[in-house]
Amino acid sequence: MQDSFNNKISKNIPEESHILLAVSGGIDSVVLMHLCSKISTNYKISIAHVNHNFHNDSEKMEITNRPDINEFLKRSPREGWTYNF
């Protein structure tokens, strides 16, 4: 799986590119993040995640503390939908 993913990335995204992944914290996002963390070091990987606080345990689903990936995290208050990015 990793080799196939690496081939698709190298064919479609030029080396030295900055790849920004928007992740939800679900299994598909976690797998995508894992695959991207294993591609060549010729890419810079960052993730963007908005915690909407829909679930009581939503903070457990946050992707944090990955030294190999830059992370941009925004937490939303449960009561509102106002974002100040």
**Count of domains in the chain?**
1
Does the residue 18 lie in any domain? yes
Mean pLDDT by 10 residues, the chain (85 residues): 92 91 81 85 82 66 61 64 54
Alpha-carbon distances, residue 26 vs 22, 61, 63, 65, 80 (angstroms): 11, 8, 10, 17, 22
Does the pTM of the predicted model rise above 0.95?
A: no
Q: Which domain holds residue 54?
A: 2-75
CA 18, CA 13: separation in Å to the nearest integer?
9
Does the residue 84 lie in any domain? no
